[in-house]
Structure 1
Amino acid sequence: MAMSKTTNTYNRQNWEDAEFPILCQTCLGDNPYIRMTKEKYGKECKICVRPFTVFRWCPGARMRFKKTELCQTCSRLKNVCQTCLLDLEYGLPIQVRDAALKIKDDLPRSEVNKEYYVQNIDKEISNIDPTTPAGAVGKSIAASDLLMKLARTSPYYKRNRPHICSFWVKGECRRGEECPYRHEKPTDPDDPLADQNIKDRYYGVNDPVADKLMRRAAAMPKLEPPEDKSITTLYIGNLGDVLTEKQLRDHFYQYGEIRTVTMVPRQQCAFIQYTSRDDAEDAAERTFNKIILGGRRLTIKWGRSQGRQAISAVETSREILEPVPGLPGALPPPPENIGNNFFNLQSTSGMMPPMMAIPPPPVAPQFMFPSQIPSPASATSAAAVAAVPSQIFPPGTAPIHYPSQDPSRMGASQGIGKPWPED
């Protein structure tokens, strides 16, 4: 005689008695000091219908209270959170993860077979570390590019907000700011995201959130390599203040030999130059929208060669600037019939323009003592008078070069041409 469901229901040997739930960081909340209520055998698991320990807590201020929905056996079987049923490693729905890792779900659907299968799995995982996944997920350790692209690296606390106030939707809520529920427009009933349930999420079928993420992955842009084959540099952005040059070199060296690693701390980025173009293309393909270092998703782009940057800078400097309105135009060239036109090179072919006469430099006045100046009376000829330069004494005045030559100062003798006084 087959065992009935009621007999197994009251068999407390397989009931769960846990001390702490299996939760993701988003459901746990941002508050490091949290209070939880523990209710032993509080509810039945939504999957295996076995009583389990229910935990209830508030993840933060102005957030709704959350509780566990699955037993820990079903949670470890799929490596999901007991509350939101999202993957603990990537934060993605089970349907997306199984499609990327090519995992086939072998969990039975019927109630009797499900209970028998879960009991056997519970015995197997009892000797395994509770932090490691079990079942087909634990056996699949291969990484996937799709999961690296879609993985959530930071908690999404917006998912813990309160539900929408139904009284506010009908216009009857009188609590105002004291209402613990959200006063927002609800989701359109025709939207697929408005129709979600726990079993579809756990079994990975007909999950609208998974379909949305798969469409997003198909529409993601690809990093096309540049046409210039001399470019072997990759731009690494969103480094933050934690990542160092050694960490970047140790990670990117697996794709090929690195020539230089240039860090730009002010811009929180770096430039990695490979020795060959094939290694650079391999690194760009395997890290674009996939690489996560130090808890940060890095931005990967192609760099530009220094020669190309110099050419672009020269071309930019040679651009014709638009004239500023309101300024006068350029002066017209001089007419061709003007003489001594040095700028009119088309005036007469084969002839040089006339040279302008350069005046001689002025003659500096010569200094002579009064005793050295010849007297007109002692001149024997007109040639002696003509030899005296006219700059020595202009008509009616005597040359004065120093204060001592002033006849009215420092006891100088009056009159020009008189001998100096003897001692």
Structure 2
Amino acid sequence: MPPKADINKAGWEQSDFPILCETCLGDNAFIRMSKQEFARECGTCARPFTVFRWNPGQSSGSRFKQTVICQTCAKIKNVCQTCILDLEYHLPTQVRDTALALKNEAPNSDINREYYSQNMDGKLDGAKSGLDTGRASSAGKEMLKELARSDPYYKRNRPKICSFFVKGECNRGTECPFRHEMPPNGDLAKQNIKDRYHGKSDPVARRILSGHAETHGMQPPEDTSITSLFITLLPASTTEQSLRTTVVQSIPSIDPAAIRSIVHVAKTRCAFVNFVDRMSAERAAEAWALGLDVEGQRASVKWGRAKAAKAPSTSAAPGPGSTAPVAAASA
């Protein structure tokens, strides 16, 4: 009679091979991997999973690497189990999801995440990925083609920075297996697994998206009061309601409540999209750097302009309760 299954291991993941990108696998054609079942918790869903450990290229001084998330979470987002970058484009998930207008459906609670992963484990049995990119716009796909990395980036496999060198206390010199250099400062030094996986507040993604937007003339204006984007070359059949639907679907990472108003001018086939805050407007500008697909036609997007302050009237002096005009963002 076979032994009873351990109820304490329900939902735990066992696997024979890891899901890795070419960079993490390394340039060594002969790799020896160690495998340990239930060695650690997944960095996103907290379920125990099978951990693989290997050296991607010992001859080039690479460090030992290991898988940090389970295969179910990797399939849900189509990412590498080690670097958590997209397997097809080799980009952060936040960049890919912004370009393809993909919505993050994973729950925030640790308990709900574990339950969600267990349910997805059965649905993704045998599947390579859980992403549905069939509805992606042509502008989003074009954006990913520009940003995608075609060659492996083996620099990510370098040894980590020596903490004793940072303190000025390392006495091993050239024999030290770690890098002797100062760590980077700023936002890039504040990275964590969950933000990278779920595509929220990822500093690497922010730098890539902002740089891409700046390259295509969508750099945010210095006037922080401008929170509007101007859309031109809209199809003649576009209505305000259809435009609102397209706008909301193209930026699922932004709360629809962040869109203050949409002013559609059918006669000139243009529209203003006004946002509640500057951050939401910048996220939309990054997503629309190559334009916005509306009813199968590419519309052009630019930043709005602040309204010029009206000159005070010289015919009559202002009354005691009057106020000076203030510049406002475009309608």
Q: For this structure pair, what is the TM-score category when the shorter chain's length is used for normalisation?
A: 0.5 to 0.7
**For the residues of structure 1 that align with 2:17 and 2:169, how far apart are their CA atoms?**
40
Question: Which structure carries more relative contact order (alpha carbon 8 Å, separation 6+)?
Answer: 2
Aligned to 2:191: 196
Aligned counterpart, 1:88: 87
Q: 2:137, 2:72 → 1: CA distance? A: 23
* Structure 2 SS opposite 1:219: helix
The one of 129, 134, 155 equivalent to 1:133 is 129
Q: Which residue of 2 aligns with 1:151?
A: 148
Match of residue 34, structure 1, among 9, 31, 35: 31
| CA shift digits 1:112-157 (9 cap, x unpaired) | 322222222111111x33xx211x4465566611111100000000
The one-character-per-residue Cα deviations of 1:76-135 (angstroms, maximum 9, x if unpaired) are 000000011100000000111001000111111112322222222111111x33xx211x
Question: Per-residue displacement from partner, 1:149-184 (whole Å, max 9, x unpaired)?
Answer: 100000000011111112222222221111000111
Distance 1:137 1:161 in 2: 34
Tell me, in whole angstroms, the C-alpha distance in 2 between the residues paired with 1:171 and 1:11: 47
Query: 1:16 corresponds to which residue?
Result: 13
| Distance in 1, Cα, partners of 2:188 & 2:135 | 29
Which residue among 50, 54, 57 is the counterpart of 2:51?
A: 54
Question: RMSD in angstroms over aligned alpha carbons?
Answer: 2.0
- 1-side partners of 2:163 and 2:199: how far apart? 30
Residues 90-99 or 141-150, more deviating: 141-150
Cα deviation digits, residues 258-313 of structure 1 (max 9, x gap): xxxxxxxxxxxxxxxxxxxxxxxxxxxxxxxx9xxxxxxxxxxxxxxxxxxxxxxx
The CA deviation string for residues 353-381 of structure 1, in whole angstroms up to 9 with x for no partner, is xxxxxxxxxxxxxxxxxxxxxxxxxxxxx
Question: Which runs of 5 or more structure 2 residues have no equivalent in the other structure?
Answer: 1-5, 218-289, 291-331
Deviation by residue 1:17-51 (Cα, 9 ceiling, x = unmatched): 11110000111100010111100111111111111
Matches within 5 A, 1:60-209: 60-61=57-58, 62-126=61-125, 128-129=126-127, 132-134=128-130, 136-137=131-132, 144-188=141-185, 191-209=186-204
Report which stretch shifted further, 171-180 or 49-58: 171-180
CA distance in 1, matches of 2:208, 2:79: 17
TM-score (norm 2): 0.60
Contact 1:91–1:152, Cα closer than 8 Å, also in 2 = yes
Deviation for aligned residue 1:216? 1.5
User: What percent identity do the matched residue pairs reach?
Assistant: 55
The within-5 A match list for 1:14-413 is 14-61=11-58, 62-126=61-125, 128-129=126-127, 132-134=128-130, 136-137=131-132, 144-188=141-185, 191-220=186-215
CA distance in 2, matches of 1:160, 1:87: 17
Tell me which residue corresponds to 1:335.
none
For the residue of structure 1 that corresponds to 2:156, the secondary structure is helix
CA offsets, 1:185-221, max 9 Å, x none? 2212xx1101000000111110000000001211225
Please tell me whether the aligned partners of residues 77 and 137 of structure 1 are also in contact (alpha carbons under 8 angstroms): no
Amino acid at match of 1:133: S
- 1:113 and 1:133, CA in 2 relative to 1: closer, same or farther beyond 3 A? same
Task: State how far apart, in whole Å, the 1-side matches of 2:19 and 2:175 are.
Answer: 32
SS of aligned partner of 2:50:
strand
How many corresponding residue pairs? 209
- The normalised TM-score by structure 1 is 0.47
Distance 1:92 1:33, change over 3 A: same
Question: Counterpart amino acid of 1:216?
Answer: G
